[in-house]
Amino acid sequence: MIPDRKPLTQLVPRTLLRLAAWSLCLIIIGWAVSYVAQGVAALRIVMLPVAIAFLLTALLFPLTRRLRAAGMRPIYATWVTMLIALAVLGGTGWIIGVRANDEFPRLVSQVQETARQVQTWLQTGPLHLQPTQINQWIDDIAAQVTQQQTVLTGATVALEVLASIVLLLFVTFFLLKDGDRIWSWFLKAFGSATPRVDRAGRAAWVTLSHYVQGTVAVAAVHGVIMGIVLAGMGVPLWAPLAVLIFLASFIPIVGIFFAGAVATLVTLGAQGPIYALIFVGILMVEQQLENHVLQPLIVGRALSFHPLAIILVLAGGGIVAGIAGAAVAVPIAAVIYRALPELMSDPPVALPPGTGPLLEGDVGPQPVTPAPPTDLAPEAEAGAPPPGSGTAASRPPGTPDPEDPGTAAQDPATPPQRPGPR
């Protein structure tokens, strides 16, 4: 006879079995995430416009909802919202173009003058550098920048940008117009898991809306303050730099460093090192005000990530899809972080039939306390029986005595009948 084999739990320690199970799960998850990332990278021309369309929809949908509530049809409300958004973007672009066209020549001359001053200081200052060394450094920096550039034809870039913009506009339009119908159609594919998916999707949408609207408000405050500072210093191209700071604020932590560096270099080239240091100090103070006051008050708990988590998410988004991927990586991570608990949690306990969920501000039915009778004498309130209670004198005429079984069943409206002769 073949002896019985020992179970695996007796041959391998239980701790090692648990580690092996966790390792297998992590390998499967990593394999799935890798394939998803490769698919997103391959379809970034489609995925990025769709992701940006969701962000724009979360920003513009409050206006569409108000227009619908005012009695406007969904198609008209959507068109009005899109036209207002395009008008704002077009007006901003026109202002930036006009200011850049007027101030760019003056900026070039100021940068050239500042470069000559810096070169003179490097040669005659404490460093005593030679002109050949300075020229060699400039050539090395230019060579590094040239090597990092991606070789793409102008026609290819223009075609990709145009296709992305068209797809972005179409997706945004239909999400604003038929977002609820699209969501209802999407839920039909999940069968019995529909309540879980519905809760997760609604939680994700609330998080995305709060994040986008709060970030736009914070970025607007940031751009306006820095634009006023640059204009007060007399820095050329202050309007484009303010818009650059506004757009860079959508990339947490990293974006403001990039936009601040560009604005500082322009200030250094146009106004000199003193103004550049003043601008850096104001930028640091305003950044601290944004991180500790504006972000907690406006954005709230929509994005409660640790800075290390934000850096890792930004790095992953940048590797997959470049600058645009870094811009949408943080809201996508926030949506997933908020939606997963709703997707994995159990549904709420069903209410009894005939009752509905409490609305916001509703505290439910309150216990009813019976009011004390007001027609009792003071003695009755103290516990003593009222005088004449339970007697015929205390009852109106024709009222039956409830304690007398012979009169309790009679109708008070009919007179009592006399007994007949025996």
Tell me if 120 sits within 8 A of 128, measured CB to CB.
no
Outline where 306-363 has alpha helix (H). 307-344
pLDDT at 45: 80
* DSSP state for residue 409 in the 8-state scheme: T
**Single-letter amino acid code for the residue at 198:** D
250 confidence band (pLDDT: 50, 70, 90): confident
Mean model confidence pLDDT for the chain: 74
pLDDT at 10: 67
CA–CA separation, 398 and 416 (whole Å): 10
CA–CA separation, 67 and 330 (whole Å): 30
Tell me if 107 sits within 8 A of 236, measured CB to CB.
yes
221-240 average pLDDT score: 86
Percentage of residues in the chain having pLDDT higher than 70: 67
| DSSP sequence for 136-166 | HHHHHHHHHHHHHS----HHHHHHHHHHHHH
Q: pLDDT tens digit string along 298-320?
A: 665 556 666 677 778 777 777 77
Q: Mutual orientation of helices 254-271 and 273-289 as an angle, nearest 10°?
A: 160
pLDDT at 417: 53
pLDDT at 258: 84
34-38 average pLDDT score: 80
Under the phi-then-psi rule, with left for phi > 0, alpha for psi from -120 to 50, and beta for the rest, what region is 357?
A: beta
* DSSP state for residue 401 in the 8-state scheme: P
CA–CA separation, 211 and 187 (whole Å): 24
pTM as predicted? 0.62
pLDDT at 378: 45
Nearest alpha carbon to residue 174 among 324, 50, 336: 50
pLDDT at residue 194 tops 90: no
- Minimum mean pLDDT among 185-194, 291-300, 350-359, 394-403: which range? 350-359
172 confidence band (pLDDT: 50, 70, 90): very high
394 confidence band (pLDDT: 50, 70, 90): very low
For the chain, the helix, strand and coil percentages under 3-state DSSP, each to the nearest 5: 75, 0, 25
Query: Within 10 A of 80 (CB to CB), how many other CB atoms are there?
Result: 14
Q: pLDDT tens digit string along 135-154?
A: 777 667 666 655 554 444 55
pLDDT at residue 208 tops 70: yes
409 confidence band (pLDDT: 50, 70, 90): very low
Count how many residues are written for the chain. 422
Q: How many CA atoms lie within 13 A of 330 on its CB side?
A: 24
Tell me if 259 sits within 8 A of 244, measured CB to CB.
yes
Contacts 24+ apart (CB under 8 A), 386-392: none
Nearest alpha carbon to residue 78 among 152, 176, 5, 8: 176
**What is residue 380's three-state secondary structure?**
helix
